[in-house]
């Protein structure tokens, strides 16, 4: 058995289509209600919530679990529906150890559900699918916070049948994307079959099952990967760069390895030279609270992976979401600066060769788009982070070959003056928040041009 002390908390990304219930599910898990306070119930920022194993065990109502599981808890990351999971990147892969894909059982699969699953497939991340909002099924008789099976067995037969039909549609959709799936309680081998759990984020039905399956996946697939050196230099991913009153520019990050202390020298990515600075303050959300409500922060001198924290430090302007942040010493700093620069440069393309121009909201989403375009052998001239500006339009409209006079934007806005300029030029603009839509639209357009 692995030593408990050296296992870090697994990072669980909650993914899925807009409004299918990601935030509500997390709320229910932590017993708060952030979604109710959100403007239009849309999550504006990425939050992280640590749920200690004791809380999970209590929710599952089975104290003997405490002995069975050695992970210290689960760290949930809520990614807004319009925001790609890919922002949660770590070098050459995904930051998340596990994922939950939320799908509204009444609506079925949507583009972002499919995109989430494709990303998980590419990164080989273990995950569960939750078929949410079962309480909306006509005639549903809720049993608050019960395990799904307990509740299911209390439903009328026609209600069960309706749920089964909807449920098999989800299984069918998963099969179409290349996943074998079944109801979680019928699965013996989670390695080859994806567990699907009908739940309600409102009534809490099925949530204990979700936690149990996640713990099982963590234990089975991750134990070796979760071992780490708690006293080693910290390694993190920047989730968000934010201006905070009284603090200046701060970064929200997920520390996934080692330790971070006040006063540490850190290096983090930007589009130019990596930023070198010293940690002024570490702000930690209180247990079971959300990273975005500042009044809930407490200052700490030291944190150990895995945690979601905010730091303040001088010179954070220009820091880039999705890039690494690492603790450096006099001996390691040169190498770390070089590595981080290389990592950012690999994604942030700027060449003289012929190709299309692309923009994305974060370095992670840019990386995902670059990878997909390369797979399709679509040439890229320039790949950059940020909204589409007037200058982008001017640059692209100077390109004569029509197939390259193209701007592809993923998760970005077209700024007003850029929009005006674009209408006057002959460039082709593709903007979407689903990668495969962008690629399909571009390919369709190229075909049309040939005809």
Which residues lie near Mg ion (CB under 5 A)? 22-23, 43
C-beta of 23 vs 323, nearer to Mg ion: 23
Binding residue ranges for GTP: 16-23, 78-82, 132-135
Distance CA 362, CA 348 (A): 11
CB 84 → ligand GTP: shortest distance, Å? 12
Q: For residues 393-422, b (16+ Cβ closer than 10 Å) or e, as one string?
A: beebbebeeebbbbbbbbbbebbeebeebb
> Closest approach of Cβ 16 to ligand GTP, in Å?
6
Q: What is the nearest approach in angstroms of Mg ion to the Cβ of residue 250? A: 22
Q: How far apart are CA 410 and CA 281, in angstroms?
A: 33
Beta-carbon contacts of residue 200 (< 8 Å; ≥ 6 apart): 132, 133, 134, 135, 142, 206
Q: How far is the CB of 354 from ligand GTP (least distance, A)?
A: 37
Of 185, 194, 222, 205, give the one whose Cα is nearest residue 59. 205
Q: What six digits make up the tokens of 266?
A: 């850190």
Please choose which of ligand GTP, Mg ion, none residue 374 contacts, taking the beta carbon within 5 to 8 angstroms, the exact cut-off set by kind. Answer: none
Place of tokens 């952030």: 34
For the CB of residue 142, give the shortest distance to ligand GTP in the complex, in Å: 10
Give 90 or 132: the residue with its C-beta nearer to ligand GTP.
132
DSSP 8-state secondary structure symbol assigned to residue 8: P
Are 389 and 408 within 8 A, CB to CB? no
Cα–Cα nearest to 209, from 149, 261, 265, 280: 149
The listed partner (ligand GTP, Mg ion, none) that binds 20, CB under 5 to 8 Å by sort, is ligand GTP
**Given the DSSP bridges, would you call strands 181-183 and 302-304 parallel, antiparallel or unpaired?**
unpaired
Q: Which listed option, ligand GTP, Mg ion, none, makes contact with residue 133 (CB within 5 to 8 Å by class)? A: ligand GTP
Query: CA 287, CA 52: separation in Å to the nearest integer?
Result: 9
- For 444, residues 6+ apart whose C-beta sits below 8 A from its C-beta are none
Cβ neighbors of 378 (< 8 A, separation 6 or more) are 355, 356, 439, 442
Q: How far is the CB of 290 from ligand GTP (least distance, A)?
A: 12
Closer to ligand GTP at the Cβ: 262 or 413? Answer: 413
Q: Choose the one of Mg ion, ligand GTP, none that binds residue 356, judging by a C-beta under 5 to 8 angstroms depending on kind.
A: none
Give the shortest CB-45-to-ligand GTP separation in angstroms: 10
**Contact partner, 365, from Mg ion, ligand GTP, none, Cβ < 5-8 Å per class:** none
Q: What are phi and psi of 298, to 5 degrees?
A: -125, 145
Question: What's the min distance (Å) between Cβ of 163 and ligand GTP?
Answer: 13
Q: Are strands 406-410 and 297-300 parallel, antiparallel or unpaired?
A: unpaired
Preceding peptide of 306 cis, ω within 30° = yes
What's the CA angle centered on 52, arms 51 and 54, to 5 degrees? 125
What is the number of the residue whose Cβ is closest to ligand GTP? 81
- Interface contacts to ligand GTP, rule CB under 6 A: 16, 18-24, 35, 41-43, 80-81, 132-133, 135-136, 200-202
Nearer to ligand GTP, 133 or 359 (CB): 133
Closer by beta carbon to Mg ion, 20 or else 428 = 20
Which element (helix H / strand E) includes 141? none
Nearer to Mg ion, 22 or 284 (CB): 22
**35 or 218: whose CB is closer to ligand GTP?**
35
Task: Identify whether the C-beta of residue 75 lies closer than 8 Å to the C-beta of residue 48.
Answer: yes
Nearest to Mg ion of 131, 266 (CB atom): 131
Task: Let me know: does 158 contact 132? Beta carbons within 8 Å.
Answer: no
Residue positions in the annotated binding site? 16-23, 78-82, 132-135
């Amino acid at each position: 058995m692995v030593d408990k002390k050296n296992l870090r908390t697994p990072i669980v990304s909650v993914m899925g289509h807009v409004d299918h219930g990601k935030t509500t599910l997390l709320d229910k898990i932590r017993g708060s209600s952030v979604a109710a306070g959100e403007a239009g119930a849309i999550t504006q920022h990425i939050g992280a919530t640590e749920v200690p194993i004791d809380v999970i065990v209590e929710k599952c109502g089975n104290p003997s679990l405490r002995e069975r599981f050695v992970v210290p808890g689960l760290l949930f990351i809520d990614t807004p529906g319009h925001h790609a999971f890919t922002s949660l990147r770590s070098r050459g892969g995904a930051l998340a150890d596990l994922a939950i894909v939320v799908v509204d059982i009444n609506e079925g699969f949507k583009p972002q559900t499919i995109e989430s699953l494709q990303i998980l497939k590419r990164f080989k991340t273990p995950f569960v699918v939750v078929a949410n909002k079962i309480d909306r099924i006509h005639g549903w008789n809720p049993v608050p916070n019960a395990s799904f099976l307990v509740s299911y067995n209390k439903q009328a037969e026609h209600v069960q049948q309706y749920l089964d039909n909807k449920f098999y549609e989800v299984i069918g959709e998963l099969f179409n994307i290349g996943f074998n799936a079944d109801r979680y309680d019928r699965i013996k081998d989670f390695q080859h079959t994806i567990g699907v759990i009908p739940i309600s984020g409102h009534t809490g039905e099925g949530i204990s099952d979700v936690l149990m399956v996640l713990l099982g996946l963590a234990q089975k697939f991750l134990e070796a990967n979760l071992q780490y050196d708690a006293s080693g230099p910290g390694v993190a991913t920047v989730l968000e760069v934010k201006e905070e009153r009284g603090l200046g520019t701060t970064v929200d990050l997920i520390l996934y390895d080692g330790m971070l202390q006040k006063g540490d020298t850190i290096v983090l990515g930007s589009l130019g030279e990596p930023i070198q600075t010293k940690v002024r303050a570490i702000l930690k959300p209180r247990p079971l609270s959300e990273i975005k409500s500042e009044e809930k922060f407490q200052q700490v001198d030291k944190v150990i992976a895995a945690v979601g924290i905010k730091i303040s430090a001088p010179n954070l302007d220009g820091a880039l979401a999705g890039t690494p942040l690492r603790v450096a010493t006099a001996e390691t700093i040169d190498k770390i600066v070089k590595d981080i620069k290389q990592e950012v440069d690999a994604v942030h393309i700027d060449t003289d060769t012929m190709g299309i121009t692309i923009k994305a909201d974060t370095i992670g989403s840019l990386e995902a788009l670059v990878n997909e375009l390369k797979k399709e052998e679509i040439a890229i001239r320039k790949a950059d982070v940020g909204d589409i500006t007037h200058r982008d339009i001017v640059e692209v409209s100077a390109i004569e070959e029509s197939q390259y006079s193209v701007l592809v934007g993923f998760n970005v806005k077209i700024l007003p003056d850029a929009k005006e300029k674009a209408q006057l030029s002959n460039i082709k603009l593709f903007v979407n928040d689903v990668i495969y839509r962008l690629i399909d639209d571009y390919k369709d357009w190229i075909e049309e041009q040939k005809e």
